[in-house]
């Protein structure tokens, strides 16, 4: 359970933990999604039966949680990819007091991607609950 705790580290440590948890949730959903999506090859009757079974408010909310996890994981993942490639970390410099941290230098990117994730969630939320609400 050690990796759940942020300890003395900043918000990025919790972002890392949440990235893992959302990744595992998306993976679990994705494995089921492959099987559900594959049922289309069994014909219209089977497809409609599967869709009817999944058409409940509980599944709708669950699917929205997966969408939320997707928005977070995708945009935080983009930040991780960019920082892995060395973007937004600044140029290497001598460790002269007062020290600056590369983590803090990339923090504005974290804020920006989280704002974009929030917008994606709001737009998707509209579609989930107002455009095609559960019957």
Partner 1 sequence: MRTRESTLWTWHLMAGAVIFVLLGLHMFIMHLSGLRGLGGEDVLSYSSVMERSKAVAYVIVYIVLLGVALYHGLYGFRKIIFELTLPEGAERVITVLVVLLGLALFVIGSYATITAFSM
* Selection from 127, 15, 4 nearest residue 78 by Cα: 15
Instruction: Please pick, from the candidates 34, 91, 95, 98, the single residue that binds partner 1 as defined by CB under 8 A.
Output: 34
DSSP-based helix, strand, coil % in the chain, nearest 5: 75, 0, 25
> Hunting for tokens 């007062």 — which residue is that?
98
Spatial contact of 103 and 10, defined as CB atoms under 8 Å apart: yes
Residues touching partner 1, count (CB under 8 A)? 34
Q: Is 123 in the site for partner 1 (CB under 8 A)?
A: yes
CA distance 26 to 2: 22
Smallest distance from partner 1 to CB 30, Å: 6
Nearer to partner 1, 40 or 105 (CB): 40
2: which residues sit within 8 A by CB, 6+ positions away?
none
Applying CB under 8 A, the span of 23-31, 89-97, 102-110, 111-119 interacting with partner 1 comes to 23-31
Q: Is 67 in the site for partner 1 (CB under 8 A)?
A: yes
Nearer to partner 1, 2 or 95 (CB): 2
Smallest distance from partner 1 to CB 18, Å: 13
Angle, vertex CA 116, rays to CA 16 and CA 12, nearest 5? 20
Instruction: Please pick, from the candidates 4, 9, 10, 30, the single residue that binds partner 1 as defined by CB under 8 A.
Output: 30
Nearer to partner 1, 20 or 104 (CB): 20
């Amino acid at each position: 359970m050690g990796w759940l705790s942020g300890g003395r580290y900043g918000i990025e440590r919790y972002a890392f933990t949440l990235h893992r948890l959302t990744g595992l949730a998306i993976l679990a959903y994705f494995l089921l999604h492959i099987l559900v999506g594959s049922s289309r090859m069994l014909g219209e009757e089977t497809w409609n039966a599967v869709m009817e079974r999944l058409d409940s408010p509980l599944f709708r909310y669950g699917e929205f949680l997966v969408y939320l996890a997707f928005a977070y994981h995708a945009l935080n993942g983009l930040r991780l990819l960019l920082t892995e490639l060395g973007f937004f970390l600044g140029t290497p410099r001598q460790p002269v007091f007062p020290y600056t941290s590369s983590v803090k230098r990339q923090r504005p990117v974290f804020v920006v991607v989280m704002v974009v994730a929030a917008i994606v969630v709001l737009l998707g939320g509209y579609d989930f609950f107002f455009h095609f609400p559960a019957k």
